[in-house]
Structure 1
């Protein structure tokens, strides 16, 4: 058995044991993986991959593909060339291509379709975004799942939840809500208001940790004065929660070790950064930071404290609202913007104007179907890499385990283009990877971990300029159209965004009276699309659900991004629903 690490966009960062037949199994000795893998990895070899390069639909050799890429890069102005990188693979070495495009003076798409708004808020409050690993959460007495569904997105957190008092805050009745002590079926976009309401009630009930507030936070009195000026009725109405449920939540957490696990759905709005700041403020009022079994955890900055080998200076284009129509050549790596970017009509309109689209990845998708030049990538088993997880503190080596004639690695492509254009060559893969490891790692009980986590997160300091937790002092909400349904995007366990096995049903409240396979049309000012329905008992009556990756879902999402963090804001809209006859 040889060991490697999963590269997928997931909290778990699984340690994988690979046998001679390349069968993948969970590493039993790893403290997080504990011997089991998710659906994606258990079926990894069943998903078809791109095996050969193509140009204008014709198969070509890799040498010819690289020659055509060089030719196209020379034919188009660097200022009219866009580099767009997705998150199909989260290995450190995936960023190496950015080095070439920065040297080439191309424009780099920056920002995120995922979590950057929330990350911006966490950084404003704490100065750095650190996670609570399952090993930390298992010491909690109460766990609040706030817009997060570990059954689907973080299965290796589930053992840590056993025996805990669970509180679920989510517009969807997820599986874990069935047996939770409390499920608050909050109104979409209501999370900020619920968090501020909890802060107010903590102060009213004298539940705050005064020592923590006085010693480790900046201007707590100003924060309390600020939120006291927001009418209680507004906070209740905006979140559509019952005061009895809020009281029950406070009783369940009083005097307990509490871990709050927050998902990305809460920040898919224009003021997403403020949502995380408000939830963080709730944690700070209780004094949860820097204590065993306590804290607030979001998708962390996995690279915090580590050397960033591919950090570059370049002209950028905001990724969530990238104007593809401005560019002649568009290089897309490990992403599927025609499916996953907001406002598909604008994405398609822009891509239609491009003179050359290059797709560099493992699997066919909507975007590869539109590309002029397709360059297959190597799988994570066929190249050197390193995984820094955003869900725990373990560092995962990803050694090359298989020799394969298929595809080219990101390092190989970048090195070839740097050489072709006369730029300085890269260091060896080994020296880059070992440099990252050496910059912020230590060996503990036989495993490499981030030095940042030798202490409990925030035990000694916050990373803000003041060294203290800093409360939010304002937020700017942008009201939604009053009519229509909230359209929620959620993950499902057989797909990872548009990868693997997608679910194209529209899930609707059973109260609407539809039967399975009824056809309906969704419309709003961004677009229109039709779906077959699947009635559900898990939704609020004002909510509809599409799983991430569902066909045409982004026909309906806004061409806009968050106030901070350059993040997509998929849920900043409503839709109208009508039956198709």
Structure 2
């Protein structure tokens, strides 16, 4: 039996026991994994993967593919070469390819399609974005799931929710809302306003932790003056909630140990950083930071405190709005921009202009179908790596378990390119990995854990220059509302973004009176697409839902970027719906 760690983009960072037959099982001894795995890992070997390199649609040998890659890199100016990396694998060694492209003086796509607007907001207030792990949340008395659905995105959090008072804040009736003590079915884009409303009422009800505010925060009085100037009716209307719901929430949390678990949906807007700052402000007013069972948890900075080996100095292109048409050579690693990037028409237009598209990854998708050169990667079982989780503090080794003739590792590809273009070679893979681990890890009860979490998150300090929590003092909401439906993007159990098994239905509220499989057309300023519908009782009457990975979903999303964090703003728009006759 061998042990490794799941590389997928997920809170859980599961520890895996691998049999001689390469069957994957959850490591029962691991404090987080506790013996069970998700659908993706339980069926890992059933998903088809790219086994042979291809060039212009024809299968070729790996040696030939690497020769063609070198020729193309020599043909086009480095300044006209773009490196675009997705998050199909979150192992540290997946970033090694940046080392070559930076040395080559290519342009690197920088930013996020996922969480960096919220991360920017967290860091503005706390200085660093640390996690609330299941081992921390298990000591809470009340858990607020704010735009987060652990059943789908964080299943190893579920045992920590048992026996807790549960509050769900979400425009969708997620499964856990049926078991919650309170579900506030908030209006999309209303999260910031609800958080500020709660802050205002916490002050009015004298529920704030005065000792914490006096000793560990800055700007509280200014913050209170700021939010007191916003009309209460505006806050209620923007969040589309009523005072009875708010009163019930305050009653449930009063005097309790509260953990607030926040998902990425709340920050898929231009002012996404401000949403997290407002939710954090509520946590600070209640004195939730640095205490057992308390806090505000988001997708954390998994590399905080570590000496990360592939920080490079290079020219950057904003990833969410990357203009592929500016480049002759586009190298895409572990990503699927033709499905996952906003405003698909812009992505198509840009890629159509590129003279050579290289796709380096495991699975076929919309982007690989358009690539000129395809280079298969090795799976996480066939290469060495280490995983730092954004959902808990454990460090997961990922040793090579099987020799495979299929694909090439990121490290081997980078070493080859560095040598071919006369750049200095890397240290050995083992040396790089061990340096990362040694930089901020300690062994505890037989497992590696980040030294940062030897204390409770923020127990001793915040990581701002002042060492204190810093309240927000403004936000800019320039969204112009228009007729139509909010289009929500959400995760579902059997897919991970555009990987694995996707769901192609458009989910619609029952009030529309549509029948299953009826076809509708969605339209807005960014595009048009058609879907078969699935009526559901889980949605507000003003919302539609597409699960991540659905075909053409991003034909409707804006070619835009968040105010802070260089993040995509998928939900910063509305759509019109009409039946297709």
Does the pair score TM above 0.5?
A: yes
CA contact (8 A) 1:109 1:316 kept: yes
Instruction: Output one character per residue of 1:418-443: Cα deviation in whole Å (capped at 9) or x when no partner.
Output: 00000000000000000000000001
Distance 2:340 2:447 in 1: 36
Q: Which residue of 2 aligns with 1:554?
A: 554
State whether structure 2 residue 234 is matched by structure 1 residue 238. Answer: no
Instruction: Output one character per residue of 1:430-480: Cα deviation in whole Å (capped at 9) or x when no partner.
Output: 000000000000011111000000000000000001100000110000223
Distance 1:414 1:60 in 2: 20
Q: Which residue of 1 aligns with 2:188?
A: 188
Distance 1:217 1:200 in 2: 17
Instruction: Output one character per residue of 1:476-518: Cα deviation in whole Å (capped at 9) or x when no partner.
Output: 0022332000000000000000000000000000111001000
Distance 1:313 1:544 in 2: 42
Distance 1:481 1:454 in 2: 46
Q: Which residue of 1 aligns with 2:119?
A: 119
Q: Which residue of 1 aligns with 2:510?
A: 510
Q: How far 1:130 moved relative to its partner?
A: 0.2
CA contact (8 A) 1:281 1:471 kept: yes
State whether structure 2 residue 62 is matched by structure 1 residue 62. Answer: yes
CA contact (8 A) 1:494 1:500 kept: yes
Distance 2:219 2:512 in 1: 48
Q: Which residue of 1 aligns with 2:573?
A: 573
Distance 1:227 1:137 in 2: 29
Q: Which residue of 2 aligns with 1:95?
A: 95
Q: How far 1:361 moved relative to its partner?
A: 0.0
Distance 2:308 2:234 in 1: 44
Q: Which residue of 1 aligns with 2:455?
A: 455
Instruction: Output one character per residue of 1:126-185: Cα deviation in whole Å (capped at 9) or x when no partner.
Output: 000000000000000000000000000000000000000000000000000001000000
Q: Which residue of 2 aligns with 1:316?
A: 316
Instruction: Say which SS state the counterpart of residue 259 (structure 1) adopts.
Output: strand
Q: How far 1:301 moved relative to its partner?
A: 0.1
Distance 1:395 1:67 in 2: 36
1:469-508 residue pairs with structure 2 within 5 A?
Answer: 469-508=469-508
State whether structure 2 residue 9 is matched by structure 1 residue 9. Answer: yes
Q: Which residue of 2 aligns with 1:538?
A: 538
Q: How far 1:569 moved relative to its partner?
A: 0.2
State whether structure 2 residue 440 is matched by structure 1 residue 440. Answer: yes
Distance 2:59 2:200 in 1: 64
Distance 1:526 1:547 in 2: 19
Distance 1:19 1:308 in 2: 31
Instruction: Say which SS state the counterpart of residue 366 (structure 2) adopts.
Output: coil
Instruction: Say which SS state the counterpart of residue 448 (structure 2) adopts.
Output: strand
Distance 2:210 2:225 in 1: 16
Q: How far 1:3 moved relative to its partner?
A: 0.1
Q: Which residue of 1 aligns with 2:266?
A: 266
Q: Which residue of 2 aligns with 1:142?
A: 142
Instruction: Output one character per residue of 1:312-347: Cα deviation in whole Å (capped at 9) or x when no partner.
Output: 000000000000000000000000000000000000
Q: Which residue of 2 aligns with 1:155?
A: 155
CA contact (8 A) 1:480 1:574 kept: no
Q: Which residue of 1 aligns with 2:212?
A: 212
Instruction: Say which SS state the counterpart of residue 41 (structure 2) adopts.
Output: helix
Q: Which residue of 2 aligns with 1:83?
A: 83
Instruction: Output one character per residue of 1:508-550: Cα deviation in whole Å (capped at 9) or x when no partner.
Output: 0011100100000000000000000000000000000000000
Equivalent pairs counted in the alignment come to 581
Instruction: Say which SS state the counterpart of residue 4 (structure 1) adopts.
Output: strand
1:249-328 residue pairs with structure 2 within 5 A?
Answer: 249-328=249-328
Distance 2:292 2:225 in 1: 30
Q: Which residue of 1 aligns with 2:411?
A: 411
TM-score under structure 2 length normalisation:
1.00
Distance 1:478 1:70 in 2: 46
CA contact (8 A) 1:14 1:37 kept: yes
State whether structure 2 residue 425 is matched by structure 1 residue 425. Answer: yes
Distance 1:412 1:54 in 2: 19
Q: Which residue of 1 aligns with 2:348?
A: 348
Distance 1:167 1:392 in 2: 22
Instruction: Say which SS state the counterpart of residue 558 (structure 1) adopts.
Output: coil
Instruction: Say which SS state the counterpart of residue 360 (structure 1) adopts.
Output: strand
Q: Which residue of 2 aligns with 1:399?
A: 399
Distance 1:191 1:443 in 2: 39
Q: Which residue of 2 aligns with 1:177?
A: 177
Distance 1:164 1:481 in 2: 37
Distance 2:508 2:54 in 1: 41
Distance 1:181 1:100 in 2: 53
CA contact (8 A) 1:480 1:572 kept: no
State whether structure 2 residue 39 is matched by structure 1 residue 29. Answer: no
Instruction: Say which SS state the counterpart of residue 433 (structure 1) adopts.
Output: helix
TM-score under structure 1 length normalisation:
1.00
Instruction: Say which SS state the counterpart of residue 179 (structure 2) adopts.
Output: coil
Q: Which residue of 1 aligns with 2:372?
A: 372
Distance 1:491 1:37 in 2: 17
Q: How far 1:4 moved relative to its partner?
A: 0.1
Distance 1:490 1:480 in 2: 23
What are the ranges of 5 or more consecutive residues in structure 1 without an aligned counterpart? none
Distance 1:228 1:466 in 2: 25
State whether structure 2 residue 521 is matched by structure 1 residue 526. Answer: no
State whether structure 2 residue 364 is matched by structure 1 residue 360. Answer: no
Q: How far 1:7 moved relative to its partner?
A: 0.1
Q: 476-485 or 241-250: which moved more?
A: 476-485
Distance 1:489 1:479 in 2: 18
CA contact (8 A) 1:519 1:531 kept: yes
Distance 1:507 1:76 in 2: 45
CA contact (8 A) 1:87 1:334 kept: yes
